[in-house]
Structure 1
C-alpha cells in the first residue's frame, strides 16, 4: 500500500466520486458535502489517499483546524457530521487484513508531521451495518454521543410494527384531527429556490429562538455555517443521493402559510439522515407538529425504498421512541507532535469530564447557559497599532 497527502480536492475528484457510489461510505465524506464545507470555511486540507495494487483503496478527507496553538487534522466538516466512516473501497473492507488500520495510522502520523499536531478522527462506528471498520483495531474512546436509527421494512405498516404501531397510529390520528380543526395542513417539500431559501432562513430563526430560550449556544449562528447549508441546498438530487432537502408542516386556514415544523434531510443510497429540525412553539403546540413531520418523513422514505432512517447524534426521548438501533461511535486520537501528545491526553480527560457533567443535569445546564452568554457577547476588534 502506498499513501500520499493531497491538498486539493479537485486532484482526487474522480477517485473520490467512485468511492462515493459505495453506500457504506458516509454521506458526510461525500465529495459534494466536503466541497461545500471547504468552499465556505477555507481550512487547509490534508487528504490522505491510499492505493493498493495501483487502485484507490481509501481516502480520508481531512482538514487542518487550529484550536489555540494546536493544529488538528480532522474529518472535513466534522462539527456537523452524524457519522464518519472515511471512504474505503469494498475490496479493502472485505479484505479484513490484520493490522491495516495500524499501518494507515502510522503512515498518516508520518505524512502529517509538520502539518498538524494531532489527528482526531471522531464519530466513527467501529461496526456499521454488519461490517467492521478498518480502524476497529486502533486504540479508541467511546464518543459520549450515540446515534439512533430505525430500520425501514418492506412497507410502512411493517416498519411501524417495530415501535408499537397501535399507539403510534392513535397519536397520529389525534395530531391530524387537531390540525384539521385549525384549518388543515400540508407536508411541504421545498422544490423551488424560493421555497428552499424561505425554509432554511426560517429554520435558522426558529433554531436561534429555541437556543436562546433554553440558554444554549447557537451552533448555527456563524455566517460560514449558514453559507455551508445554503450551498448544500444547491446540490439537488443525484439518483438516490441528496445532500440536503427541506421539509415542513405548513398550516392552512387561519394560519395559512405559517410553518409549524421544519426538518433537513439527506439521503445516501438506502440511508436517510435527519440533519436538523426545528419547531415554532407558538403554532399548533398541542398537535406536536415536529413528531407529525417525522411520521410523514418515515412514511415517505419507506415508500421510496430507503432501508434505514437515521435520527443522528444525540440522546433524546423522541428518538428512542422511534428507534430500535442505538449506534455507539468512537474517536481515535493520534498524537503527531509533542504538543499533540499533550493535547491528546487533555482531550481524553476532557471527554471523561464532559461525560460526568452531562450526567449531572443541573451542572450541565449551568455551563451551557454560561457558554450561551459568552457566544452572545460582541467581539471587540483590536485597536490598530500606531
Structure 2
C-alpha cells in the first residue's frame, strides 16, 4: 500500500496550500491517499459510502466485486481519507495492451460513472481536485493512462467532484424519466393519450394470442434463466444487424450471472413479458434493471421479434415496469446511455456525459491524445445524421462480409 499525504487549508482560509508539508494546526484538513490491491479489505467503508444516493451503482461494492471475480484484470483501488473518515474510493481495472489503461471497474458496461464519495462540502474544491489527480498518479507503476468515461458534470442537481478536471464531451448522452406520484401523473410529462392507446393496442393483440404475464425475477433460478434468454435474443438481434455481440464474452456473461447472486440490496432484477395460451412460457421481451434507492437504470433490453413483434412488447414491458416502480418509491427511471428513438419518446431529461483522460507516462500522453481525437471524431459524426447512417450501413456490410445487402 502506497501513501500520499496532502495537507489542506480549511474552506475559509485564503492562504495558499502546500500539500506536501505537514503543518500542525487544529484547523487543517489532512487527506491521505492510499492504494489497495484487494477490494474486500475496504468492504465496510465502501458499503457505507454506497449509501450516498449521488454515487453511481456502477461503482458500488457488489458491482465491482462481481466484476473482479469474473475477470482477470489487475485491480487497484484509490482510497482518500481525512483522518479515519473515508472521503472517496476509486476502483480501477487495468487493461493490458500496447498501452496499459486504467478504467473504472466494468466501464464497458456502465451507463453512469461517478466514483464513490462522501459528503465533500468541508473540503475546498481546489484541494479535492489536487487529491484526486495526485491519487491517480499513484497508478503509474500499473498503468500508462487513466480513462474516466461517461461521467456527468452534474448529477441529480449536484456537481460531480470530477467536474473541475478538464474533459471532453462523450459521444453519447444518457436519458432519464422522472417518476411522479403514480403512473397517471408520470404520463402527464409525455403524450399520455397516445401512449395509453398504444398500450391498449399491444394488450389487445396479445389477448388474441391467449394473453400475457408481466414477470419480475430477482432470485435464482428464474432470473438466471431469463438472463440466458436475453443473451440468446440479443445475439440474434446483433447478428441480424451485422453488429458484434457485446455480451458474447464468457466473462461478461458470468459477471451478470454473478450480479443475480449478489442480491444484498435489490441490486439486479430481470423483468419480462411472457406469453400465455398457445405460446405458454414464451418470453418476448426482457429488461435488466439495476436499482439503488430511488434510482433505477435499465441496464439492457431485448425482444423476440419472431413472435408477436407487432404487439410492441418492449414498449409494453417499459410501461408495466414504470407503472410498478411508481408505486415503489422510485423517483428516476434511467434508460441509460445512447440516443435511440424509444428513449426520446419516454424521457424528459437528457444528461450530457464527459470523458476525462489522465496520462501517466510518455506512452500514455500519446494514447490520451489519440483517444481525445477519436472521441471528438465520433461526436462529430453522430451529430450528422446522414453521415452516421452511412457509416452504420458500411459497418454492417463489413461485419456481414462480401455481397452483403442493406
With structure 1 as the length reference, what TM-score do the two structures score?
0.92
Aligned to 1:7: 37
- Give the gaps of 5 or more residues in structure 1: 374-386
Q: What is the alpha-carbon root mean square deviation over aligned residues?
A: 1.4
Q: Find the residue that maps to 1:46 and give its secondary structure.
A: strand
Aligned to 1:45: 75
1:63 aligned residue (90, 93, 106):
93
Shift, 1:192, TM fit: 4.8
Residue by residue, what CA displacement relative to the aligned partner does 1:267-316 show, whole Å, maximum 9, x if unpaired? Answer: 00100110100000011111100110000010111111100000001100
Aligned to 2:286: 262
C-alpha distance in structure 2 between counterparts of 1:57 and 1:195, whole Å: 39
Aligned to 1:149: 176
Say if 2:229 is the partner of 1:202. yes
Aligned to 1:350: 374
Aligned to 1:379: none
Aligned to 1:377: none
C-alpha distance in structure 1 between counterparts of 2:66 and 2:399, whole Å: 28
Q: Find the residue that maps to 1:183 and give its secondary structure.
A: coil
Paired residues for 1:276-287 under 5 Å: 276-287=300-311
Which one has the bigger helix percentage?
1
Residue by residue, what CA displacement relative to the aligned partner does 1:92-142 show, whole Å, maximum 9, x if unpaired? Answer: 1x3462313430343124311221100110010010001001111110100
Report if the CA contact (8 A) 1:251-1:260 is conserved.
Answer: yes
Paired residues for 1:228-307 under 5 Å: 228-236=255-263, 238=265, 242-307=266-331
Q: Find the residue that maps to 1:206 and give its secondary structure.
A: helix
Distance 1:31 1:191, change over 3 A: closer
Q: Find the residue that maps to 1:363 and give its secondary structure.
A: helix
Aligned to 1:383: none
Aligned to 2:107: 78
Distance 1:372 1:153, change over 3 A: farther
1:364 aligned residue (392, 395, 399):
392
Poorly superposed stretches of 4+, deviation over 6 Å: none
- Give the gaps of 5 or more residues in structure 2: 1-30, 402-406
Q: Find the residue that maps to 2:162 and give its secondary structure.
A: coil
Equivalenced residue count is: 367
2:216 aligned residue (189, 192, 195):
189
Distance 1:2 1:142, change over 3 A: same
Higher relative contact order (CA 8 A, sep 6+): 1
Report if the CA contact (8 A) 1:126-1:132 is conserved.
Answer: yes
Report if the CA contact (8 A) 1:215-1:369 is conserved.
Answer: yes
Report if the CA contact (8 A) 2:219-2:260 is conserved.
Answer: no
Distance 1:19 1:109, change over 3 A: closer
C-alpha distance in structure 1 between counterparts of 2:263 and 2:136, whole Å: 37
C-alpha distance in structure 1 between counterparts of 2:288 and 2:65, whole Å: 19
Distance 1:369 1:80, change over 3 A: farther
Q: Find the residue that maps to 1:61 and give its secondary structure.
A: strand
C-alpha distance in structure 1 between counterparts of 2:370 and 2:224, whole Å: 41
C-alpha distance in structure 2 between counterparts of 1:100 and 1:24, whole Å: 21
2:204 aligned residue (177, 181, 185):
177
Report if the CA contact (8 A) 1:109-1:335 is conserved.
Answer: no
Q: Which has the larger radius of gyration?
A: 2
C-alpha distance in structure 2 between counterparts of 1:356 and 1:368, whole Å: 20
Residue by residue, what CA displacement relative to the aligned partner does 1:195-216 show, whole Å, maximum 9, x if unpaired? Answer: 1122111110000000000011
Aligned to 1:337: 361
2:254 aligned residue (208, 221, 227):
227
Shift, 1:254, TM fit: 1.3
C-alpha distance in structure 2 between counterparts of 1:104 and 1:283, whole Å: 55
